[in-house]
Amino acid sequence: MSGKSLLRNFATVGGATLLSRLLGFVRDVLLAAAVGAGPVADAFVVAFRLPNLFRRLFAEGAFNSAFIPLFGRSVEEEGDKGARQFAGEIGSALLFCLLALTALAQIFMPFVVWALAPGFVADAEKFDLTVIMARIAFPYLIFMSLLAFIGGILNTYHRFAAAAFAPVMLNVVMSIVLGGVLIAGVDDNVTLGIILATGVTIGGIVQLLVVIIDLKRLGFKIPVFRPRYTKSARRLLVLGIPGVIAGGVTQINIAVGQIIASLQEGANALLYFADRLYQLPLGVIGIAIGVVLLPSLTRQLRSGETAAYQHSLNRALEFSLVLTLPAAVALAVIPHEIVSVLFQRVRFDAAAVDGTAAALMAFSFGLPAFVLNKVFSPGYFAREDTKTPMKFAVVGMVVNVALSIVLFPVFKHVGIALATTIAGWVNTALLIVVLWRRGHFTPNLDVLRKLVLVLIASLLMGVVIHFAALYLAPYLKDAWLLVRAGSLALLILTGLITFAIFAQISGGADLAGMTKALTRRNT
């Protein structure tokens, strides 16, 4: 895959992710209007968290990191016939496991809800509603796992659009459902809960249909076999278990952070809002890099195209930091302006703005590390090495927990954000150093030179938007919401233009060339 094709694919996946995140904000606004913060909202969060937890542990990280390299090997070594055989064996085994897991979850759902939300037991009505909603929503896991499976096939054949845009459909479906609830004026808790949970399941079906249609267009037919524990399934399981452990480490990190933050009044809320903001560039850039890069590296390695592999890795490094460094600097320089315009109203007061902005600034320094993690992890996964990233994730978890405990008494919730940032850099540094020592990553000196210039351009942009924020301060703080939002948009636009000028003039990034690559038709 050429650098221009790589960039176009990054833009496709990144654009779809951005659209999904923006529609997610719309969904959250409608959800707040429809259910507020009452028992239905509590039940919905827990019911939806359950299939999402399993999806994050199995479908997203573990399955993709293991399946795509093995499927890529089948395509290169055995052709389309062997690839279809492999896909049929894995698909049958996957569906059998999902149906078995869903059946067990349906039977033991009261115990599962008790484990996830023990505080609900005191409120029998809320507990029963959560069980009902969780049973209805749990099949969402089946559809999302099959989406990951089919998406892995499509990505291997360099078809990224359908799998990237599929998540948008959940937010579209849920927004329609919530809009209907508001128009109809549904106020019975049980009815409202059932409608919301059903909307989640329907959203999963629609998402799956999007990738099935694209798979049909590709002409790739997956044969149906009786579920068997074949050599292919065994190899997938061996590669996937470390991914599950690594995903579990992430969930442990989140849980520990929440426990520590609960010692400070409102800390979890402050970290949540800061996380929502820095996750936007991380999700758009990081997910795009990870989704596009892994199948590309896998096929290049299987084809013996070592030079193309190194080129793709270096280009991904360049693309990611050209987008990430200015975003990180902006979040560090104007976090208060961003948070105040987006969130400060009604009960979200000035103190909440200050606390969220401080956490956002701490997270911003880790943004490049989190994105680089998405760049270099595929360098291991493409070689069917999932154990090494798992070990590094465990090291990162230990660092995160230890620093959270040490820093929290001094810096409160900001200490947790700092611990997350430092742990992210430790994890990423280990990925880069070991990949380099193994000879699996050879830094391109020209790329490194450009990245230094991009960093300088980003810092200069930071200086400009700092003074621009001072000039626009009256319009950002003490004006109507529309004026404040327009002023923030102007501030962001100033940053974008300033960075583009500095980066283009210094030669740090050929933004004009990238724009042409994005707009040129793929031939």
Q: How far apart are the first and last CA of the chain?
A: 12
Q: Decide if pLDDT at 482 tops 90.
A: no
The pLDDT of residue 185: 82
DSSP, collapsed to helix, strand or coil, labels residue 61 as helix
The share of the chain scoring above pLDDT 70, in percent, equals: 80
The pLDDT of residue 106: 93
- The rounded distance, in Å, linking the Cα atoms of 16 and 322 is 19
Q: Which of 24-28, 74-78, 154-158, 190-194 has the highest mean pLDDT?
A: 190-194
> Which residue has better confidence, 4 or 315?
315
Residue-wise pLDDT for 123-137, tens only, equals 888 889 989 999 999
| Burial class of 223 by CB neighbour count within 10 A (0 to 12, 13 to 18, 19+) | exposed
Which range has the worst mean pLDDT, 60-69, 279-288, 424-433?
60-69
Burial 147-172 (b: 16+ CB within 10 A, else e): bbbbbbbbbbbebbebbbbbbbbbbb
For range 459-463, the mean pLDDT: 94
Q: Please answer whether residues 154 and 210 qualify as being in contact, where contact means their C-beta atoms are separated by less than 8 angstroms.
A: no
For range 138-148, the mean pLDDT: 90
Reported as a pLDDT band with limits 50, 70 and 90, residue 309 is: confident
Q: Decide if pLDDT at 521 tops 50.
A: no
Q: Decide if pLDDT at 180 tops 60.
A: yes
Which range has the worst mean pLDDT, 174-183, 485-494, 510-519?
510-519
The pLDDT of residue 509: 72
**DSSP H/E element including 78:** helix 64-107
Q: Decide if pLDDT at 383 tops 90.
A: no
Q: Decide if pLDDT at 523 tops 50.
A: no
For 420-447, the DSSP string reads HHHHHHHHHHHHHHHHHHTTS----HHH
Q: Please answer whether residues 138 and 50 qualify as being in contact, where contact means their C-beta atoms are separated by less than 8 angstroms.
A: yes
DSSP, collapsed to helix, strand or coil, labels residue 345 as strand
| Nearest alpha carbon to residue 300 among 286, 287, 312 | 312
- The rounded distance, in Å, linking the Cα atoms of 229 and 244 is 19
Q: Please answer whether residues 354 and 336 qualify as being in contact, where contact means their C-beta atoms are separated by less than 8 angstroms.
A: yes
| Nearest alpha carbon to residue 427 among 466, 463, 400, 456 | 400
The pLDDT of residue 248: 56
The pLDDT of residue 522: 44
Q: Decide if pLDDT at 70 tops 80.
A: no
For range 275-299, the mean pLDDT: 71
Both structure tokens of 369: 């590390």
Q: Decide if pLDDT at 2 tops 50.
A: no
* Residue 419 CA from chain centroid, whole number: 20
Q: Decide if pLDDT at 98 tops 80.
A: yes
C-alpha pair distances (Å), 71 with each of 82, 125, 157: 9, 47, 10
- The rounded distance, in Å, linking the Cα atoms of 172 and 384 is 36
Q: Torsion over CA of 450, 452, 456 and 457, rounded to 10 degrees?
A: 20
For range 293-308, the mean pLDDT: 75
The share of the chain scoring above pLDDT 90, in percent, equals: 22
Q: What is the pTM of this model?
A: 0.69
Residue 340, φ and ψ in degrees, nearest 5: -65, -40
Residue the block writes with tokens 């999302």: 144
**Which amino acid, 507?**
G
Both structure tokens of 46: 């827990």
| Burial class of 81 by CB neighbour count within 10 A (0 to 12, 13 to 18, 19+) | exposed
For 238-256, the DSSP string reads HHHHHHHHHHHHHHHHHHH
Both structure tokens of 444: 């391109």
Residue-wise pLDDT for 398-422, tens only, equals 898 899 889 988 888 889 889 989 9
For range 483-510, the mean pLDDT: 87
The pLDDT of residue 350: 79
Q: Decide if pLDDT at 83 tops 80.
A: yes
The pLDDT of residue 60: 55
Residue-wise pLDDT for 23-58, tens only, equals 876 776 677 667 654 677 667 777 876 777 666 665
